[in-house]
């Protein structure tokens, strides 16, 4: 018989993936755990292994397409009675040809056996009218006149609005929702290349249209014309091409996810940043002195970041509000009893934050090794998905590049993020004398709903005390 392989659940909040590479061909034999696809999700590039052993009968996706979780990817003949393949194929939602199209999962395909009510075929037509309907700009979008008027008023391109009405009809609420979250909604439709949207200038009689003749306007009773009031819509852009050549690239995958989560963070969290400095002159010297032996012993580098992870964990234990999240809906603060420290890693695809889990239970050595491992894997796009989830606090270090300080943005839904700038040699005053010291600028951005400025200052001070006097680590235990 044949087995349909559906795009599996790739982890929390991941509903779709772009297919980067197809590693098998029709007719090829595959063993369980052989890699079938390489897909890029919002968070990382993931290799998808085969759950079956058999022969590839059909591949339903193409490279470059976006597939949704539950979407049929491939049919593998697993030996006995391979004739049922076409029937199976029909049940699964097909991946469309166009790149922009988002696929809908097969209704109930994974629960076929249980409830006895197998999802009927209409899923397919629904997908068609819901997602793909308005891709064709030659056909007017089904929307009532009042909806079209509202769209004009809000300067919304109807083709870009995801419809909620029957048969892909755009409703007033859809237009309002789009206008409210223009950025998010635009990304939702995949390629948001708004080729057909022509910004409609508000026509004010005076400046746009008639204008010019000041004298006659004054005497002609111009006051009778009303001035249009346009609600401002985020994301409205001028025509860049007027000023020179541009290239439009769809907002995809990691970049898209970053845009979404940064927008969410910026719009939902009241950010405050507190700045301080740690004198790491002694620590730096100590690090240098053990660098070689540590590397020989572990194959990894003992970095300042690793030590900061430990210092942060200690501070989080003392000030648990910085390890919490706000549950707005339930009006509760969620204090997490685990310490998973995210490390911001710059990759050529954008910022990714792998997580060191249970950092409180790991030794400095373990952390240093893990840190280097996940950073390398992340840069190579090979980090495991579970390593990208469950963070409670994030550290971002731009010191290797430079920077005297920064104002980092919180990784929603965490409470705070610690930014490290470049630890550089600076004149410092010690016992009335100017000496050369190594100064590390630190910046803590925190959610002011969960913590106050004084607590934040104490929190950063706690970290600094550990960096300046590493003995504190030992005294704590």
Partner 1 sequence: MVVGEMVEQVDLVVVGGGPGGYTAALRAAELGIKTIMVDEQPRPGGVCLNMGCIPSKALLHAAEVIELARHARKIGLEFSDPKINVKELVAWKDDVIEKLSQGIVGMCKSAKVERLIGRANFADSRSLRVEREGESAVRVKFKHAILATGSSPTKLPMLFPNKDDMNSDLIMDSTSALKVDGVPKKLLVVGGGYIGLELGSVYAALGSEVTVVEMTDGLLPGCDRDLVRPLQNKLTTAFKNIFLDTKVKSLEVKGKSVQAQFAPPEGNKDIPTSMDFDKVLIAVGRRPNSEGVGLENTEVEIDKHGFVVIDEQCRTADKRILAIGDVSGQPMLAHRAMRQAFIAAEVLAGKQSQFDNRAIPAVVFTEPEIAWCGITETEAKEKGVKVAAARFPWSANGRAMTIADTNGSTKVIYDPESHRVLGVGMVGPRAGDLIAEAVLAMEMGACLEDLGATIHAHPTLSETLNEAALTALARIERQAVKV
Residues acting as catalytic residues: 448
Asked if 199 is part of the footprint of partner 1 (rule: CB under 8 A), the reply reads no
Q: Is residue 245 a contact point for partner 1 (CB under 8 A)?
A: no
Among positions 168, 354, 391, 419, the unique one binding partner 1 when judged by CB under 8 A: 168
CA angle 231-232-236, nearest 5°? 135
Answer for which of 219, 245, 331, 433 binds partner 1 (CB under 8 A) is 219
Out of 28, 84, 111, 216, point to the residue binding partner 1 (CB under 8 A): 216
- Determine, following the binding rule CB under 8 A, whether residue 203 of this chain makes contact with partner 1: yes
Which position among 128, 162, 176, 461 is part of the footprint of partner 1 (CB under 8 A)?
128
Nearer to partner 1 among residue 209 and residue 335 (C-beta): 209
Is 167 a binder of partner 1 (CB under 8 A)? yes
CA distance 396 to 308: 11
Phi, psi torsion values for 13, nearest 5 degrees: 70, 5
232 belongs to the binding site for partner 1 (CB under 8 A)? no
Stretch touching partner 1 by CB under 8 A, among 4-12, 211-219, 335-343, 369-377 = 211-219
Nearer to partner 1, 128 or 461 (CB): 128
In the list 17, 76, 131, 141, the residue contacting partner 1 (rule: CB under 8 A) is 141
- Note whether 471 binds partner 1 by CB under 8 A: no
Asked if 90 is part of the footprint of partner 1 (rule: CB under 8 A), the reply reads: no
Q: How far apart are the C-alpha atoms of 180 and 148, rounded to whole Å?
A: 16
- Looking at the Cβ atoms of 26 and 144, the one nearer to partner 1 is 144
Please identify, among the stretches 25-33, 210-218, 396-404, 438-446, the one whose residues bind partner 1 according to the rule CB under 8 A.
210-218
Stretch that binds partner 1, among 6-14, 49-57, 225-233, 245-253 (CB under 8 A): 225-233
User: Could you tell me which stretch among 45-53, 103-111, 221-229, 253-261 binds partner 1 (CB under 8 A)?
Assistant: 221-229
Q: Is 31 in the site for partner 1 (CB under 8 A)?
A: no
Q: Residue for token digits 């390593």? A: 387
Among 129, 284, 286, 472, binds partner 1 (CB under 8 A): 129
Number of residues that bind partner 1 (CB under 8 A): 37
Contacting range for partner 1; rule: CB under 8 A; set: 24-32, 99-107, 196-204, 417-425: 196-204
Output 119 or 263, the one with its CB closest to partner 1: 119
Contacts with 107 (C-beta within 8 Å, 6 or more apart), sequence order: 119, 120, 123
Contact between 83 and partner 1 by CB under 8 A: the answer reads no
Comparison of 216 and 361: residue with beta carbon closer to partner 1: 216
Distance CA 39, CA 63 (A): 9
With binding defined as CB under 8 A, does residue 209 bind partner 1? yes
- 31, 137, 152, 264: which one contacts partner 1 (CB under 8 A)? 152
- Does 290 contact partner 1 by CB under 8 A? no
Interaction between residue 477 and partner 1 (CB under 8 A): no
Cβ nearer to partner 1, comparing 141 with 311: 141
Minimum CB distance to partner 1, residue 135 (Å): 13
Under rule CB under 8 A, which residues in 325-344 are in contact with partner 1? Answer: none
Binding site for partner 1 (CB under 8 A): 128-129, 133, 140-145, 148-149, 152-153, 166-170, 200, 202-205, 209-210, 213, 216-217, 219-222, 224-228
């Amino acid at each position: 018989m044949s087995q349909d392989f559906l795009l599996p659940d790739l982890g929390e909040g991941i509903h779709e993936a772009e297919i980067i590479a197809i590693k098998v061909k029709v007719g090829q034999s595959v063993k369980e755990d052989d890699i079938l696809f390489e897909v890029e999700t919002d968070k990382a590039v993931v290799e998808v292994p085969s759950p079956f052993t058999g022969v590839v009968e059909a591949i339903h996706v193409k490279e470059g397409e976006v597939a949704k979780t539950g979407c049929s990817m491939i049919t593998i003949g697993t030996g006995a009675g391979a004739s049922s393949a076409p029937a199976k194929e029909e049940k699964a939602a097909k991946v469309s040809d166009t790149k922009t199209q988002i696929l809908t999962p097969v209704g109930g395909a994974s629960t076929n056996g249980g409830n006895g009510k197998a999802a009927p075929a209409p899923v397919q037509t629904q997908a068609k009218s819901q997602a793909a309907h308005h891709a064709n700009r030659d056909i007017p979008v089904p929307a009532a006149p009042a909806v079209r008027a509202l769209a004009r008023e809000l300067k919304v391109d109807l083709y870009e609005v995801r419809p909620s009405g029957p048969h892909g009809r755009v409703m007033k609420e859809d237009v309002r929702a789009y206008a409210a979250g223009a950025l998010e909604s635009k990304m939702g439709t995949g390629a948001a290349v708004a080729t057909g949207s022509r910004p409609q200038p508000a026509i004010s009689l005076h400046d746009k249209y008639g204008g010019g003749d000041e004298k006659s306007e004054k005497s002609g009773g111009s006051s009778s014309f009303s001035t249009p009031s346009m609600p401002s819509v985020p994301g409205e852009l001028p025509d860049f091409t007027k000023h020179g050549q541009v290239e439009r690239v769809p907002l995809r995958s990691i970049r898209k996810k970053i845009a979404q989560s940064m927008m969410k963070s910026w719009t939902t969290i009241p950010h405050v940043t507190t700045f301080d400095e740690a004198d790491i002159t002694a620590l730096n010297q100590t690090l240098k002195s053990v660098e070689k032996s540590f590397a020989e012993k572990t194959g990894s580098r003992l970095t300042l970041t690793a030590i900061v992870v430990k210092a942060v964990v200690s501070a989080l234990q003392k000030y648990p509000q910085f390890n919490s999240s706000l549950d707005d809906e339930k009006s509760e603060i969620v204090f997490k009893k685990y310490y998973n420290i995210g490390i911001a890693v710059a990759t050529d695809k954008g910022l990714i934050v792998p997580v060191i889990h249970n950092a409180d239970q790991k030794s400095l050595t373990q952390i240093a090794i893990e840190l280097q491992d996940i950073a390398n894997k992340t840069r190579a796009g090979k980090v495991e998905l579970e390593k990208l989830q469950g963070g409670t606090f994030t550290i971002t270090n731009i010191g290797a590049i430079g920077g005297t300080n920064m104002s980092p943005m919180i990784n929603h839904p965490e409470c705070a993020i610690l930014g490290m700038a470049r630890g550089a040699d600076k004149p410092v005053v010690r016992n009335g004398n100017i000496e050369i010291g190594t100064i590390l600028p630190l910046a803590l951005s925190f959610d002011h709903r969960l913590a106050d400025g004084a607590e934040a200052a104490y929190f950063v001070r706690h970290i600094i005390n550990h960096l300046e006097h590493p003995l504190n680590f030992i005294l704590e235990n």
